């Protein structure tokens, strides 16, 4: 009798585990502790949306798939958890391509599930079929097409593992409709078995020793810190190491916040619109330690003129990055946090770099970031600085792409990690607004401010409808220069002021637009009203959009012109 009972129990538990592909998907998301998914339904993914409906798992219905994926990126960036996106086949899938490419470039962990036409018609140009595997092959860390429902649990497990470990990135699962309707055994293992994918986490101690010795004998060391340190959650260790060795720190655009912006060892952002001190430090250094940064061309300027006297140490979890752009004498493949821990533990003899540090301090003082005020017009930098001051920097900041992005990177100081959300590698206009929604979902109690250009905002403004629905207190700041500002700046500087298609002749009434979505709208075009308006915006208990009319022809300075070296910056002082 007891044997029979046990047999029945086994059968019952087996039956419980028999489920459709779409049920498996939702069960697996729960196993992965996914709290929120971002997406948009359609034919091929309907079975999955039916399960979402039945299960009650939180789904955020963006108003365009691009909005969904950028929101998932914002969520991932701030929470450190993977962003999950569910879209239909064909246009649903192709609408997330930009976001996938964006996440790939900026190493953001995403799991994207795209519906697909049934297996029987794949390859026949069926209705809403697109070869999403082919399309996303080069812009995903990995992608899968599920052909057998029994494979689905393993694939989902692997997808989350690959997206979130090593160098994070987007993983796509293409789920044909028939597979999502078939029944199979849901066996969600806790383990993954991927012998070919074993990211190196721990550094080689002998390589670390080499770096320790190089630091001890360096006179002009500088560290270039990228988002790898943020992904590794290594900010505390970075601070400890920098203070232990008194090494000055520059960050990349995406590395902002990895090191306190108000620290005396902080030189600022390096690169095209970085600080003069950060760029000169790199140019003059005798030891350049890059950590979790990939020597992007916007950081290096002309490679021939980059850090000509420096021995280069490169610490990265992705071995493919080492030696890709810059010859490296001390390669270290490791997780940044682990490498920093080992560097601190080896506690090398401090280098003879106090004169260097003094020189850099003076450079910082002599060449601060600058702008001039004008009583007749709001300067964009002034606006951003004012919002920084009024929030005491206690906010999560997202940006779109263009001049306002660079000014925000320059004038909003980040003293804590994971409060800075921007599209660095791909430079995707339309990113900032939906990313802010995702960021606010990740951190409901921290103020979220989205700085956007008037043009970029118009690329994904349909998400006003999502904001109206969610009533998140996101502050939308349109830095409105009535132009495609960054394009206009390049045309002014490098195309003899031929402003081809960069001055926007008409604009919507942004205030009325906000009001159409039942969102508070404000317009500010007077310097005298700036403080009051910023306060009103920040104190408003709900979503608000402010159309700040700013000077149209302001340029982002300082600047490393294309083809120039980091030491050849222009606009380092007020003209
Ligand atoms: C999707 C996309 N298309 C085109 C570009 C090229 N681009 C870079 S900045 C920029 C102008 C952005 O204008 P706006 O959003 O008003 O911001 P501003 O530069 O004025 O601050 C353009 C067109 C891009 N980065 N992304």
Q: What angle do CA 95, 97, 101 make, to 5 degrees?
A: 150
Q: What is the mean pLDDT of residues 160-171?
A: 98
Same domain, 209 and 345: yes
Q: What is the mean pLDDT of residues 21-45?
A: 98
- Distance (Å, rounded) from C-alpha 282 to C-alpha 312? 11
Residue 457: which CATH number? 3.40.50.970
Structural domain range at position 360 = 205-366
- Read off the DSSP letter of residue 203: P
Q: What is the mean pLDDT of residues 324-331?
A: 97
Q: What is the mean pLDDT of residues 276-297?
A: 98
Which residue has 């950590």 as its token pair? 291
Same domain, 353 and 390: no
| 569 is known as an active-site residue | no
Closest CA to 234 of 211, 210, 203: 203
Closest CA to 452 of 369, 534, 553, 546: 546
The residues lining ligand 1, judged by C-beta closer than 6 Å to any ligand atom, are 400-404, 427-429, 453-456, 479, 481, 483-487
- Read off the DSSP letter of residue 503: B
Q: What is the mean pLDDT of residues 41-47?
A: 98
- Distance (Å, rounded) from C-alpha 550 to C-alpha 403? 12
Ligand 1, atom nearest to 98 Cα: 1
- Distance (Å, rounded) from C-alpha 501 to C-alpha 503? 6
**Contact at 8 Å (CB) between 438 and 38?**
yes
For the chain, what is the mean pLDDT?
A: 97
Nearest CA to ligand 1 atom 9: 402
Please tell me which residue in 141, 157, 177, 520 is annotated as part of the active site. 177
Q: Cα of 317 to ligand 1 centre, how many Å?
A: 31
Question: Does residue 525 register a pLDDT over 50?
Answer: yes
Q: What are phi and psi of 6, to 5 degrees?
A: -60, -40
- Four-point Cα dihedral 343, 344, 346, 350, nearest 10: 90
Q: Cα of 346 to ligand 1 centre, how many Å?
A: 46
Nearest CA to ligand 1 atom 2: 429
Same domain, 385 and 514: yes
Q: Cα of 429 to ligand 1 centre, how many Å?
A: 6
pLDDT tens digit sequence for 479-521:
999 999 999 999 999 999 999 999 998 999 999 999 999 999 9
Please tell me which residue in 7, 9, 54, 127 is annotated as part of the active site. 127
Closest CA to 454 of 429, 490, 424: 429
**Contact at 8 Å (CB) between 141 and 81?**
no
71's enclosing H/E stretch is helix 65-79
User: What separation, in Å, do the N-terminal and C-terminal C-alpha atoms of the chain show?
Assistant: 93
Indicate whether 543 belongs to any domain: yes
Same domain, 263 and 168: no
Domain boundary among 122, 152, 186: 186
Question: Does residue 5 register a pLDDT over 70?
Answer: no
Which residues pair with residue 144 across a beta bridge? 173
The residue to mutate among 69, 381, 401, 492, having the most atoms of ligand 1 within 8 angstroms of its beta carbon, is: 401
Indicate whether 192 belongs to any domain: no
Closest CA to 217 of 351, 323, 402: 351
- Distance (Å, rounded) from C-alpha 141 to C-alpha 318? 12
The residue to mutate among 383, 429, 461, having the most atoms of ligand 1 within 8 angstroms of its beta carbon, is: 429
Please tell me which residue in 31, 81, 128, 416 is annotated as part of the active site. 128
- Read off the DSSP letter of residue 469: H
Q: What is the mean pLDDT of residues 10-25?
A: 82
Per-residue confidence (pLDDT) for residue 575, from 0 to 100: 77
Q: Cα of 96 to ligand 1 centre, how many Å?
A: 19
pLDDT tens digit sequence for 432-473:
999 999 999 999 999 999 999 999 999 999 999 999 999 999
Same domain, 360 and 386: no
- Distance (Å, rounded) from C-alpha 206 to C-alpha 402? 43
Considering just the CA atoms, what is the radius of gyration of the chain in Å?
25
Q: Cα of 488 to ligand 1 centre, how many Å?
A: 10
| pLDDT-based confidence at residue 224 (cuts at 50, 70, 90) | very high
- Read off the DSSP letter of residue 276: H
Indicate whether 361 belongs to any domain: yes
Q: Cα of 491 to ligand 1 centre, how many Å?
A: 13
Indicate whether 482 belongs to any domain: yes
Ligand 1, atom nearest to 481 Cα: 20
Per-residue confidence (pLDDT) for residue 1, from 0 to 100: 47
Q: Which two tokens stand for residue 62?
A: 């963006």
| 182 is known as an active-site residue | no
Ligand 1, atom nearest to 429 Cα: 26
Indicate whether 570 belongs to any domain: no
**Contact at 8 Å (CB) between 142 and 168?**
no
Same domain, 532 and 389: yes
Q: Cα of 486 to ligand 1 centre, how many Å?
A: 6
Please tell me which residue in 272, 486, 537, 569 is annotated as part of the active site. 486
Collapsing DSSP to helix, strand or coil, 167 comes out as coil
Closest CA to 561 of 367, 327, 305, 364: 305
Nearest CA to ligand 1 atom 20: 485
DSSP 210-258: HHHHHHHH-SSEEEEE-HHHHHTT-HHHHHHHHHHHT--EEE-TTTTTS
Same domain, 451 and 545: yes
Q: Cα of 12 to ligand 1 centre, how many Å?
A: 58
Burial class (CB in 10 A: 0-12, 13-18, 19+), 490: middle
Nearest CA to ligand 1 atom 17: 453
Same domain, 460 and 525: yes
Per DSSP, which regions of 299-455 are E strands? Answer: 311-316, 330-333, 396-399, 420-421, 448-453
Nearest CA to ligand 1 atom 1: 429
- Distance (Å, rounded) from C-alpha 344 to C-alpha 354? 19
Ligand 1, atom nearest to 401 Cα: 9
The total number of structural domains that make up the chain: 3
Domain boundary among 366, 400, 431: 366
Same domain, 335 and 422: no
Indicate whether 98 belongs to any domain: yes
Ligand 1, atom nearest to 504 Cα: 16
Indicate whether 5 belongs to any domain: no
Closest CA to 302 of 493, 562, 572: 562
Ligand 1, atom nearest to 380 Cα: 21
| 412 is known as an active-site residue | no
Question: Does residue 2 register a pLDDT over 70?
Answer: no
Same domain, 384 and 361: no
Same domain, 423 and 511: yes
DSSP-derived pairing of the beta strands 183-185 and 18-20: antiparallel
Indicate whether 567 belongs to any domain: no
Q: Cα of 411 to ligand 1 centre, how many Å?
A: 19
| pLDDT-based confidence at residue 189 (cuts at 50, 70, 90) | confident
- Four-point Cα dihedral 78, 82, 87, 89, nearest 10: 130
Please tell me which residue in 27, 32, 51, 65 is annotated as part of the active site. 65
Same domain, 211 and 336: yes
The residue to mutate among 106, 253, 402, 460, having the most atoms of ligand 1 within 8 angstroms of its beta carbon, is: 402
Q: Which two tokens stand for residue 183?
A: 């029944």
pLDDT tens digit sequence for 386-431:
999 999 999 999 999 999 999 999 999 999 999 999 999 999 999 9
Nearest CA to ligand 1 atom 8: 402
Looking at the chain, the number of H-run helices and the number of E-run strands are 24, 20
**Exposure b/e, 215-234, CB count within 10 A at least 16 = b:** beebebbbbbbbbbbbbbeb
Question: Does residue 60 register a pLDDT over 90?
Answer: yes
Collapsing DSSP to helix, strand or coil, 378 comes out as strand
| 177 is known as an active-site residue | yes
Q: What are phi and psi of 185, to 5 degrees?
A: -90, 125
| 342 is known as an active-site residue | no
Q: pLDDT over 90 for what percent of the chain?
A: 96
Closest CA to 429 of 40, 98, 94: 98
| Residues in Cβ contact with 225 at an 8 Å cutoff, skipping those fewer than 6 apart | 238, 249, 250, 251, 252, 255, 258, 259, 291, 292, 293
**Contact at 8 Å (CB) between 221 and 351?**
yes
Q: Cα of 415 to ligand 1 centre, how many Å?
A: 27
């Amino acid at each position: 009798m007891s044997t029979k009972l046990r047999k029945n129990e086994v059968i019952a538990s087996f039956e419980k585990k028999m489920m459709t592909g779409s049920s498996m998907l939702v069960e697996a998301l729960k196993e992965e502790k996914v709290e929120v998914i971002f997406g948009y339904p359609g034919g091929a993914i309907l079975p999955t949306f039916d399960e979402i409906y039945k299960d009650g798992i939180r789904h955020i219905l963006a108003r365009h798939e691009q909005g969904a994926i950028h929101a998932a990126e914002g969520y991932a960036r701030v929470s450190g958890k993977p962003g999950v996106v569910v879209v239909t086949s064909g246009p649903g899938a192709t609408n997330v391509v930009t976001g996938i490419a964006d996440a790939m470039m900026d190493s953001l962990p995403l799991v994207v599930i795209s519906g697909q036409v049934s297996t029987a018609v794949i390859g026949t140009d069926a209705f809403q079929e697109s070869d999403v595997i082919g399309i996303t092959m080069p812009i995903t860390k990995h992608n899968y097409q599920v052909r057998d429902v029994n494979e689905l649990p393993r694939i989902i497990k692997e997808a989350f593992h690959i997206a979130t470990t090593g160098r994070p990135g987007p993983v796509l699962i293409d789920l044909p409709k028939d597979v999502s309707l078939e029944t199979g055994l849901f066996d969600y293992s806790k383990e993954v078995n991927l012998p070919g994918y074993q990211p190196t986490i721990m550094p080689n101690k002998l390589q670390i020793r080499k770096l320790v010795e190089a630091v001890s004998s360096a006179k002009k060391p500088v560290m270039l810190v990228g988002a790898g340190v943020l992904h590794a959650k290594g900010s505390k260790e970075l601070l400890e190491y920098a203070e232990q060795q008194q090494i000055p720190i520059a960050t990349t655009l995406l590395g902002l916040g990895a090191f306190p912006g108000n620290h005396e060892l902080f030189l600022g952002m390096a690169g095209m619109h970085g600080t003069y001190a950060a760029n000169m430090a790199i140019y003059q250094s005798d030891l350049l330690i890059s950590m979790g940064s990939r020597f992007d061309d916007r950081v290096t300027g002309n490679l021939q003129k980059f850090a000509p006297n420096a021995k280069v140490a490169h610490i990265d979890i992705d071995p493919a990055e080492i030696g890709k752009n810059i010859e490296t004498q001390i390669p270290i493949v490791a997780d940044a946090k682990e490498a920093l821990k080992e560097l601190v533990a080896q506690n090398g003899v401090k280098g003879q770099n106090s004169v260097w540090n003094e020189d850099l301090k003076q450079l910082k003082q002599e060449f601060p970031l600058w702008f001039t005020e004008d009583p007749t017009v709001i300067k964009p930098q002034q606006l951003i600085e004012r919002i920084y001051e009024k929030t005491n920097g206690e906010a999560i900041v997202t940006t779109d792409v263009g001049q306002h992005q660079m000014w925000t990177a320059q004038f909003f100081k980040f003293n804590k990690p994971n409060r800075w959300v921007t599209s660095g590698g791909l430079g995707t206009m339309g990113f900032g607004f939906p990313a802010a929604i995702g960021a606010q979902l990740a951190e409901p109690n921290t103020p979220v401010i989205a700085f956007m250009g008037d043009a970029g905002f118009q690329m994904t403004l349909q998400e006003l409808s999502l904001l109206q629905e969610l009533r998140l207190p996101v502050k939308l700041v349109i830095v409105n220069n009535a132009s495609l500002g960054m394009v206009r700046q390049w045309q002014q500087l490098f195309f003899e002021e031929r402003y081809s298609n960069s001055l926007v002749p008409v604009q919507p009434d942004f205030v009325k637009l906000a009001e159409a979505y039942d969102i508070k709208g404000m317009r500010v075009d007077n310097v005298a009203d700036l403080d009051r308006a910023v306060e009103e915006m920040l104190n408003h208990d709900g979503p608000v959009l402010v159309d700040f009319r700013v000077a149209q022809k302001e340029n982002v300075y300082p600047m490393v012109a294309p083809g120039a070296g980091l030491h050849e910056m222009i606009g380092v002082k007020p003209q």
